[in-house]
Structure 1
């Protein structure tokens, strides 16, 4: 994405409170409990809110529900973790959010407005789908790394992410962030595997 496209997407003027044109429940979902209503950098705020919420989710799944969700793919020396809990969370958010995003854009007459941040939530969860739950709980700084990597891919949209953004309607809003989260997760997963291998 070049400088002009970045300016057009992130520098455009937004209609104040345009989210009020849709119903309160749809607003609650697509703004992720209001985090997308931030007047500045709503996407960053939505991603940050998702990263913060991810920690108690990991604790709940691992310690309270005793959710065994980590699958290791690879050999004795090196491989990649698949966290089925956050993978499921990302996919559930992706498909469940589609009708809400579609309704929000239709009601407000907008196309991928900044205050819709449920797609960022999906991306953060997908990024964490490559980190073991126990590692997230023991090393919560990994959430900051996931946040940074995801925002990198979400803003710059390299490696074909911008093509997913061009999918029609709500699918385009959600799909590019899912792919961005996937790329961030792959990098995060390899880093985590290396950390585990050296006994970090």
Structure 2
């Protein structure tokens, strides 16, 4: 995105308490329990809230009843890890949020307002889709890197991400963040593989 597009999207004045125009359940979901109500940088606050929640989610995923959630595909020297827990979490949030985002935007007569941050939550979970659960628990700093990478892709929207915003209604709100999270997850995983290979 160029500077003018960034200014138009992130520099615009936001109407305070705009979310009050919809019902409580839609508000709680779309603002991710109020994190999107921040008067400044609501997208960052929503992403941060999702990042914080991701750690106890990883603890839950590591519990024995859930069984194996991480799968490696490829050779011993190089392969891809798929964290099925966070992949499922991202997809559940993605499809589950669609009707609530549509309702919230319709009720408030808005189009992708800043306070809707459930899309950032979906993106953060997708950014962790290639990181083993045990690695997240052993090295929680990886969450900060996932957060930073996702925000990079979410704000600048390179590699065709901005095109996904043009999808109709809630699909456009959610799809660009899902793709941004996917890119962030791939970069994060390849970076970790490179670090391991060089050490």
User: Normalized against structure 2, the TM-score is what?
Assistant: 0.96
Name 2:78's counterpart in structure 1: 78
Helix, strand or coil at the partner of 2:63: helix
Considering only aligned residues, what root-mean-square deviation do their CA atoms show, in Å? 1.3
Specify whether residues 183 and 36 from structure 1 end up closer, same or farther in structure 2 by C-alpha distance, changes over 3 A only: same
Give 1:80 shift. Answer: 1.6
- How far apart are residue 124 of structure 1 and its match? 0.2
Tell me what 1:7 maps to: 7
Q: CA distance change for structure 1 residues 67 and 54 in 2, over 3 Å: closer, same or farther?
A: farther
Listed as ranges, the gaps of 5+ residues in structure 1 are none
Contact 1:77–1:197 (CA under 8 A) maintained in structure 2: no
8 Å CA contact 1:94, 1:122 repeated in 2: yes
Q: Secondary structure at the match of 1:130?
A: coil
**Does 2:18 correspond to 1:27?**
no
Separation of aligned partners in 2, 1:86 and 1:173: 20
Partner SS, residue 115 of structure 1 = coil
Q: Does 1:171 align with 2:171?
A: yes
User: Which residue of 1 is the match for residue 61 of structure 2?
Assistant: 61
Which position in structure 1 is the counterpart of 2:187? Answer: 187
| Contiguous gaps of at least 5 residues in structure 2 | none
The count of residues paired between Structure 1 and Structure 2 equals 199
Report the more deviating stretch, 50-59 or 61-70: 61-70
Q: Write the distance in 2 (CA, Å) between the matches of 1:143 and 1:155.
A: 18
Q: Within 5 Å, which residues of 2 pair with 1:94-109?
A: 94-109=94-109
CA-to-aligned-CA distance 1:59-113 (integer Å, 9 cap, x gap): 0110354431111122121122110000000000000000000000000000000
1:119 paired to 2:80:
no
What is the TM-score normalised by the length of structure 1? 0.96
TM-aligned CA distance change 1:32 to 1:190, over 3 Å: same
C-alpha distance in 1, partners of 2:75/2:41? 42
Matched, 1:160 2:160: yes
